[in-house]
Amino acid sequence: MIEREQVLHVARLSRLRLSEEEIDTLTGELSSVLDHVDKLAEVDLEGVEPTSHVVPLENVLRSDEPRPSLDREVALSQAPDPHDGAFRVPSPQAEA
Amino acid sequence: MGDIELIAASGAETAAKIANGEVSADEVLDFWLQRASGDALNGYLWSADRESARDGVDPDGGAIAGVPLAIKDIFCTEGVPTTAASKILGGYIPPYTATSVRNTRAAGLPMLGKTNMDEFAMGSSNENSAYGPSLNPWDTDRVPGGSSGGSAAVVAGGLAPWALGTDTGGSIRQPAGFCGIVGLKPTYGAISRFGMIAFASSLDQCGPLTRDVTDAALLLDVLQGRDDYDSTSVGIDGDVKAPTAERLDGLTFGVPRGLMSEGIEAGVLARFEETLIRIAELGGEIVDIELPHAGHAISAYYVLAPAEASTNLQRYDGVRYGLRASDEDLLAMYEVTREDGFGPEVKRRIMLGTYALSSGFYDAYYGRAQRVRTRIVEDFDRAFGKVDFVVTPTSPTVAFKLGEKTADPWTMYLSDIFTVPISLAGIPAISIPAGLAEPDGGGPELPVGFQIAAPAFAEQKLIEASFALEQAIGFDGSAGLAGGVR
């Protein structure tokens, strides 16, 4: 089960401005999915280590030498609001 | 030469026709561009012209040069729109090209177009595309599967000889099964992920969707290898060779009956059992095995994959590329851009993943799911101590109708019940067509996929066995090939 308040909290963490309708729908849907997921508690995990990566790998290193990378112009070519060689964003002021 | 011959030809057969002068590479490209332009399946989100198809392609690339390739729209292609079927990347033109695509160009394969998919590869039906679903060429009232649904549809529907897809929990194998073609998910790490738009990074893997097993081997050989731009890529030892096996003598095939206890359509089960008999006829041995934790795979997957997705998708914030939907203030820009740009399933997974990773819930969800993943890895290790392969139906059903499973997310998620455990274990698996079957409750006969999984990096062995079985089955995909154009 997940409460509407938790959905609002997670939406803020996720940076999603959900509509009222979406909040209602997601409260039901997430609860239902989590009910299924909660069955994982049935598995005996005594002494079991987590798996984050399935292929055995040592640290992968390369020599620290300068290499060509994207030109600034190219990196900015898809920006919604490029300005003066940088990514321009609206002011964070109004947040306060 | 007749057009019909080219439509039905595999990639290898087309390459042979070019090599012996029966047809030129130019004629082959023009033929397939013409086919793709008649797309009645919404399979392509972008189609090439002669010039863009050949961009960066080495005409002397090798044995399969000149056979055009369709590419899932999750692979970045410099100068060509790449959307991952999301509104948030509408109009995005990447400044670089994915390693896997570069490798196919170096092998001489022109790019036919970018194929439709579920948004950010999240889905099992293609209905989560922001640009409308792709359709199944066997019955256009039905889904092609997902997320690589467009790639499967264009190969099965005679709109491309072969295609690239990606598989996170079944996204190559399930649509290949639904469309009556071959889909191969290699071992995690076999192929570079550089330039493949990330969904769940510990699971995502590129692979081929093809008319037959031989073509899957040929494409895998071109795609696989270590890449300096993806430190998790390791490649496969040695070349991948075209298969020649005719028999399965001395090989054992494990059937996890415990995982197959319910929810499988009668027709799917019938084709599966027939295929087991064929394996025995070819000299293979069928053994029952246990995968005691595989029944928990979907639950673990729907914690792990959304958790990884929620972090990977943080980058879509309206700052550097893609959609920006508000300039009111910084927070509004983030929130409104993401609200407008993402579709319902992507939002659902971001929310689920953020919740699973949030303070106070991490151990109960993400930590636990990672440990269940270990259990599933151990299940397969134990099984492969006893058998050479693990086999299941690719999906519990044949292709379902558009809209049939959209009401309840969990019902949709269950269509990947046989593919997800393999993804969590990181091992290779292939889906080959095993025949046709009616859905439960009646309807047209539709393809049934047969899934074969092998230990990590045992791709060559997997391909050989699949080839021998494919020859014995003798599947006829011509009804699908006829369904791609109006």
Inter-chain touch B329–A92, beta carbons under 8 Å: yes
Task: State which residues of chain A have pLDDT below 50.
Answer: 95-96
pLDDT profile of chain B (486 residues), mean per 10: 81 97 96 97 98 96 96 98 98 97 98 98 98 98 98 98 98 98 98 98 98 98 96 94 98 97 94 98 98 97 98 98 95 97 98 95 95 98 98 98 93 94 98 97 96 98 98 96 88
Q: What is the pTM of this model?
A: 0.97
Whole-angstrom distance, CA of residue B464 vs CA of residue A83: 56
State the catalytic residue, choosing from B124, B129, B148, B171.
Answer: B171
Looking at the complex, report in whole angstroms how far the Cα of residue B270 sits from the nearest Cα belonging to chain A.
Answer: 29
Inter-chain touch A79–B228, beta carbons under 8 Å: no
In this complex, the residue of B314, B319, B367 whose CB is nearest that of residue A89 is: B319
Inter-chain touch B369–A92, beta carbons under 8 Å: no
Inter-chain touch B369–A14, beta carbons under 8 Å: no
Residue B310 annotated as catalytic: no
Inter-chain touch A74–B310, beta carbons under 8 Å: no
Whole-angstrom distance, CA of residue B379 vs CA of residue B99: 33
For residue A53, what is the nearest residue in chain B, using CA coordinates?
Answer: B202
Three-class secondary structure of residue B237 per DSSP: coil
Domain A1-40: CATH class, spelled out: mainly alpha
Instruction: Mutate one of A16, A24, A25, A67 to test the B interface: name it (highest B CB count within 10 A).
Output: A16
State the catalytic residue, choosing from B72, B87, B185, B405.
Answer: B72
Cross-strand partners of A86: A83
CB of B350 less than 8 A from some CB of A: yes
* pLDDT at site A96: 47
In this complex, the residue of A34, A54, A62 whose CB is nearest that of residue B228 is: A62
Among B residues 84-103, those touching chain A with beta carbons less than 8 Å apart: 92-96
Contact B308, B200 (CB under 8 A): yes
At B136, list the tokens. Answer: 């199944």
Whole-angstrom distance, CA of residue B272 vs CA of residue B334: 49
Residue type, position B351, single letter = M
Inter-chain touch A37–B302, beta carbons under 8 Å: yes
Q: How many CB pairs under 8 A join A and B?
A: 179
B328: number of Cβ within 10 Å: 13
Q: Which residues, including other chains, have CB under 8 Å from residue B218's CB and lie 6 or more apart?
A: B11, B12, B63, B64, B240, B242
Q: What is the DSSP string of B286-308?
A: EEE---TTGGGHHHHHHHHHHHH
Chain A residues whose CB is inside 8 A of the B230 CB are none
Residue B72 annotated as catalytic: yes
Contact B19, B135 (CB under 8 A): no
How many Å is the maximal CA-CA distance in chain B? 69
For residue A82, what is the nearest residue in chain B, using CA coordinates?
Answer: B320
Among B residues 301-330, those touching chain A with beta carbons less than 8 Å apart: 302-303, 310, 314, 317-324, 326-330
* pLDDT at site A59: 84
Instruction: Mutate one of B76, B327, B352 to test the A interface: name it (highest A CB count within 10 A).
Output: B352
Among B residues 134-193, those touching chain A with beta carbons less than 8 Å apart: 187-189
Whole-angstrom distance, CA of residue B210 vs CA of residue B184: 9
Whole-angstrom distance, CA of residue B440 vs CA of residue B435: 16
Looking at the complex, report in whole angstroms how far the Cα of residue B99 sits from the nearest Cα belonging to chain A.
Answer: 16
Three-class secondary structure of residue B368 per DSSP: helix
Inter-chain touch A15–B365, beta carbons under 8 Å: no
Chain A residues whose CB is inside 8 A of the B188 CB are 54-55
Selected from 1.10.10.1100, 3.10.129.10, 3.40.50.720, 3.90.1300.10, the CATH number assigned to the domain covering B3-240+399-447+473-481 reads 3.90.1300.10
CB of B332 less than 8 A from some CB of A: yes
* pLDDT at site B49: 97
Inter-chain touch A15–B348, beta carbons under 8 Å: no
Chain A residues whose CB is inside 8 A of the B122 CB are none
Q: pLDDT tens digits for B239-263?
A: 999 999 999 999 999 999 999 988 8
What does the angle CA B364 – CA B368 – CA B369 come to, to the nearest 5 degrees?
120
Whole-angstrom distance, CA of residue B456 vs CA of residue B186: 9
In this complex, the residue of A11, A40, A50 whose CB is nearest that of residue B374 is: A50
Whole-angstrom distance, CA of residue B23 vs CA of residue B28: 7
Chain A residues whose CB is inside 8 A of the B426 CB are 54-55
Residue type, position A6, single letter = Q
What number is the ipTM of this complex? Answer: 0.95
Looking at the complex, report in whole angstroms how far the Cα of residue B218 sits from the nearest Cα belonging to chain A.
Answer: 24
Tokens 């997800």 correspond to B420
Residue B395 annotated as catalytic: no
Inter-chain touch A54–B188, beta carbons under 8 Å: yes
Chain B residues whose CB is inside 8 A of the A95 CB are 329-331
Instruction: Mutate one of B77, B231, B299 to test the A interface: name it (highest A CB count within 10 A).
Output: B299
